[in-house]
């Protein structure tokens, strides 16, 4: 492979953003990959940022599937309790509370399935 800009110079690597061959003169070393000098540094930086964020989200998933539903469940319990005390089963806060509890269950089940799928692929 030769440098995209210098057809007679052998390439030392390729840009992570556009995959073109680059010689030392045309390369910016980004720690985690190479980029076209003065051209694709920002793009390679963005790619890396997205990759980092993705792995962060996946590694945090086991915690999130417990915390989010627990929060909804707590909200639901509070709404249902105060709704029932103030107006009984037909009161709006009580209905909202039940809604939150159902939502908590759905969130838990669906995020658990989602995480299973994600970790199965990795």
Residues near Zn ion (CB under 5 A): 3, 5-6, 15, 17-18, 23, 25-26, 36, 40
What is d(CA 83, CA 65) in angstroms, rounded to the nearest whole number?
27
The residue among 40 and 76 lying less far from Zn ion, judged by its C-beta, is 40
The residue among 51 and 78 lying less far from Zn ion, judged by its C-beta, is 51
The residue among 26 and 80 lying less far from Zn ion, judged by its C-beta, is 26
**CB of residue 25 to Zn ion, shortest distance in Å:** 5
| Residue 66 φ then ψ, to 5° | -95, -45
**CB of residue 7 to Zn ion, shortest distance in Å:** 9
């Amino acid at each position: 492979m030769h440098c995209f800009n210098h057809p007679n110079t052998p390439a030392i690597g390729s840009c992570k953003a556009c995959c073109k061959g680059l010689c030392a003169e045309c390369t910016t070393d980004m720690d985690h990959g190479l980029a076209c000098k003065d051209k694709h540094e920002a793009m390679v930086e963005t790619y890396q940022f997205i990759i980092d964020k993705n792995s962060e989200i996946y590694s945090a998933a086991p915690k999130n599937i417990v915390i989010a539903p627990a929060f909804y469940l707590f909200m639901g319990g509070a709404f249902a309790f105060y709704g029932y005390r103030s107006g009984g089963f037909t009161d709006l806060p009580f209905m909202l509370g039940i809604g939150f509890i159902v939502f908590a269950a759905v969130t838990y089940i669906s995020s658990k399935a989602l995480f299973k799928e994600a970790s199965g692929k990795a």
